[in-house]
Chain A
Amino acid sequence: MTSPFALCILAIVTLSLLGLPIGHAMIASSILYLLLAGQDMSIAAEQLLNGMYTNYVILAVPLFILAAELMNIGSMTERLLLFCNALVGRFRGGLAHVNVVQSLIFAGMSGSAIADAAGTGRMMQAMMTKDGKYPASFAAALTAATAVVGPIIPPSIPMVLYALVSDASIGFLFLAGVVPGVLMAGVQMGIVGLTARRRDFPVEPPIPLRELPCITWRAFPALMMPVVLLGGIYGGATTPTEAAALAAAYALLISAWLYRSVSLRDAYGSLAYSARTTASIGMLIAGALVFNYVVTVENIPESIKILLSGWNLSPIGFLLLVNGILLVLGCMLEGTAILLIVVPVFIPTAKALGIDMVHFGVVVVVNIMLGLITPPYGLLLFIMNTITGVPLRDIVRDCMPFLAAMIAALALITFWPGLSLWLPRLMGYQG
């Protein structure tokens, strides 16, 4: 490590801590590095522009954001909640189970946990706390915890970003997330069941069975989203990148045409929101691309590989180390930043240890997602705090059982690669 590099890291940390957007902090600090190392400063622009221009698969990110937005403007969320209620409302802690199932289904339509919590959090909170049915802090914590499943089940923006840094196939990453995602939801339902009995949560009046077909039919187009998506990829119609556009088109079609609930103004609003979000994630990607040049030219991933090989870690030992590091970082850093800056550093070592890149991707993404509900920095906690006004401390407290259970699920996903790889292998993945 050279002194320009040390100063570059110092600059990134200082500028980010002082509140400069992380993308700008990385670009500015990389310029500082080039200046101090006596290199051509235009390399920063070169890396940013060529990196953005040549990474075609990354275009899935804006399109998945758009798809999630278009889903949210329709009346789809309400229909889904009705459907979930018909399905699991009749059990003890019915609405809490509804919250879990809603997120599981939403996960199949959207690639982002933030979109789930921000899109359905308000409605879920109102339903659960009406007439004092559930404590507000439990409801808020549950919505935050259940949203975690969003990007583990396809589609998934974090998996697209992981594919960008690892060259793993997006198609197989998506398939690999399905079983772990369902497992996480199952674990959440287990915790809900235990808590419901202990705290004597209410039961929802059962929906008559004869109404079920109608309710299902009304939610059916939304339920079909994952089928359309994976069908598009595996049926030969689209590449994974194009599948993101297909998802957005499908969302627009059912919201506008079938549910007739979208005005032009709504459509403009979702495009505008998606474009703004795209710009702000894009800046982070741009900053990471520039900073990646600095890290590469300094041979950092190679040095880490050599350092770690000195420890003679087994693959499992290495995975545990990565889990530990990512969970700790998740308490402090934004998930996209961890994926783009920290994860690439581990990839050469993971490859050298013979760890399957698709399995590694699932482990990494689950870690990043858990980081969204670990304090002090947990974006989902902040969102629920802002939406509901419940103090952060109370949300965190009620979130802990879910966090603990999901860390147990993470351990299972880590130790048992077959859990992730079973479905991809079924579809022809050789790994």
Chain B
Amino acid sequence: MVMDRLRTLGGWLARRAENVLVLMLGAMFAVFILQVVFRYMLNLPIGWTHEISVILWLWIVLFGSAFVTRESEEIRFDIIYGAVGRRARRVMAVVTAAALVVLYTISLPAMADYVSFMKVERTAYLKLPFNWVYAIYLAFAVASIARYLWLGWRAMRGNAPEAFDPTKAGSGV
């Protein structure tokens, strides 16, 4: 019962996270068009659009990787991963999850220190303190730790991770 409800809640949160991600990409697209229209058609160059689109790009990547991207969509090197059986894949998943969780966790205090240090600088147009803009890294790191703890735990319990799907892999080439 509790697990089911948690799963429903998780699915709902995942869909909302995707909504946010789509909103960010849509906003970035709109801001670009605005920038071209203002400079080329109205001869009124604006600079803050630059800043918004760069912040959005940073957030799309880190927020998206933390909360939206599925395992099957990640770019990975899968000659071995795709070829071995479920058992081997489970062992591999436990090893990589452990490495990621350990390294991301021990570096987390240093990362938090840097992000909070960045309060000394502000963005050029909107004057946003950089510690806010860069805080998304901390969300990304914490979410990655949580995600890989879960993946590792699931692999230990006996669930092999999803196989790789080339038609879904988000490669840009």
| Residues of A participating in the B interface, judged by any CB pair closer than 8 Å | 11, 15-25, 28, 31-32, 34-35, 40-42, 44-46, 48-49, 52-53, 56, 58-59, 61-63, 65-66, 111-114, 118, 151, 157-158, 161, 236-238, 242, 244-246, 248-249, 268, 271-272, 274-286, 332-337, 339, 368-369, 372, 376-377, 379, 382-383, 385-387
Q: Check: B9 CB closer than 8 A to any chain A CB.
A: no
B26-47 interface with A by 8 A CB criterion:
26, 28-29, 32-33, 35-36, 40
Contacts A/B (CB < 8 Å), 16 sampled: A19-B92, A35-B103, A35-B107, A41-B111, A48-B137, A53-B133, A246-B36, A249-B29, A275-B21, A275-B25, A275-B60, A276-B170, A282-B60, A284-B75, A335-B171, A379-B171
| Contact A282/B61 with A28-B104, A40-B110 known, Cβ cut-off 8 Å | yes
Q: Check: B166 CB closer than 8 A to any chain A CB.
A: yes
Asked whether, in the complex, the Cβ of B173 is within 8 Å of the Cβ of A368, the reply is yes
Asked whether, in the complex, the Cβ of A283 is within 8 Å of the Cβ of B29, the reply is no
Which B residues are in CB contact (< 8 Å) with A24?
100, 144
Nearest to A112 among chain B residues (CB) is B172
Which of A18, A271, A377 is B22 in contact with, Cβ under 8 Å? A271
Nearest to A331 among chain B residues (CB) is B79
Which of B18, B76, B103, B166 is A382 in contact with, Cβ under 8 Å? B166
Residue among B60, B107, B144 with most chain A CB within 10 A: B107
Which B residues are in CB contact (< 8 Å) with A65?
172
Which B residues are in CB contact (< 8 Å) with A332?
77, 79
| Contact A59/B53 with A23-B75, A42-B113 known, Cβ cut-off 8 Å | yes
Asked whether, in the complex, the Cβ of A379 is within 8 Å of the Cβ of B173, the reply is yes
Asked whether, in the complex, the Cβ of B173 is within 8 Å of the Cβ of A151, the reply is yes
Which of B77, B89, B165, B166 is A17 in contact with, Cβ under 8 Å? B77
Q: Check: B1 CB closer than 8 A to any chain A CB.
A: no
- Known contacts A237-B40, A275-B24; 5 further A-B pairs (Cβ under 8 A): A21-B74, A66-B25, A280-B64, A284-B75, A379-B171
Q: How far is the CA of A21 from the CA of B26 in the complex (A)?
A: 26
Q: How far is the CA of A62 from the CA of B26 in the complex (A)?
A: 11
| Contact A245/B22 with A42-B110, A379-B169, A382-B166 known, Cβ cut-off 8 Å | no
Asked whether, in the complex, the Cβ of B166 is within 8 Å of the Cβ of A42, the reply is no
Q: Check: B2 CB closer than 8 A to any chain A CB.
A: no
Which of B35, B75, B166 is A280 in contact with, Cβ under 8 Å? B75
Asked whether, in the complex, the Cβ of B103 is within 8 Å of the Cβ of A278, the reply is no
Which 7 residue pairs across A and B have the least CB separation, nearest first?
A279-B64, A282-B61, A280-B170, A245-B32, A382-B166, A19-B81, A42-B114
Asked whether, in the complex, the Cβ of B73 is within 8 Å of the Cβ of A276, the reply is yes
Which B residues are in CB contact (< 8 Å) with A245?
29, 32-33, 36
Nearest to A49 among chain B residues (CB) is B134
Q: Check: B132 CB closer than 8 A to any chain A CB.
A: no
Which of B58, B63, B73 is A52 in contact with, Cβ under 8 Å? B58
Residue among A24, A65, A369 with most chain B CB within 10 A: A24
Chain A nearest CB: distance from B156 CB in Å? 15
Which of B22, B32, B100 is A20 in contact with, Cβ under 8 Å? B100
Which B residues are in CB contact (< 8 Å) with A34?
107
Q: How far is the CA of A16 from the CA of B99 in the complex (A)?
A: 12
Chain B nearest CB: distance from A136 CB in Å? 17
Residue among A22, A31, A40 with most chain B CB within 10 A: A31
Which A residues are in CB contact (< 8 Å) with B25?
62, 66, 271, 274-275, 278
